[in-house]
Amino acid sequence: MGRPIDEEKIINIVVYECGEWLGLAKEIEKQIMALPTAEPQWIPCSERYPEENQICIVTDETMRNTYEYRFCKETYDENQGWTYLKHRIIAWMPLPEPYKVGEKDV
């Protein structure tokens, strides 16, 4: 005959292991919820510029205008930085993902 099964020991191990996994799952969920949203954020030009030929949204030094613009080195000036229509561009953000038709739209 085999060894007798210690049911209490097995229950304790399962409860402990499941408790560890549950704690880990709750921690992962908390970290996921703390992630920033997928919404584009303004990036200061003093921080970095977009990739060459990247189309993005920009705002100028007046902070009254926004434009869709393709970044290229030809519009960069050593003294003024990145300009558009004679205004210095101070921040940019990537374009959002295109709209996708969902079930609610049909």
What is the separation, in whole angstroms, between the first and last Cα of the chain? Answer: 66
Alpha-carbon span 88 to 71, nearest angstrom: 13
Percent of residues, the chain, with pLDDT higher than 90: 4
The DSSP output letter for 10 is: H
pLDDT beyond 70 at 94: yes
pLDDT beyond 80 at 91: yes
Alpha-carbon span 52 to 46, nearest angstrom: 16
Alpha-carbon span 105 to 103, nearest angstrom: 5
The pLDDT-based confidence of 43 (bands split at 50, 70, 90) is very high
Nearest in space to 87 (alpha carbons), one of 69, 100, 103: 69
Residue with the bigger pLDDT between 105 and 76: it is 76
The confidence score (pLDDT) of residue 23 equals: 73
What tens digit of pLDDT does each residue of 19-42 get?
A: 676 677 777 777 777 776 666 689
pTM of the model: 0.53
The confidence score (pLDDT) of residue 44 equals: 92
The confidence score (pLDDT) of residue 95 equals: 86
Mind giving me the DSSP string for 15-68?
HHHHHHHHHHHHHHHHHHHHSPPSS---EETTT--PPTT-EEEEEETTSS-EEE
Domain ranges for the chain, please list them: 7-36, 43-94
The confidence score (pLDDT) of residue 64 equals: 80
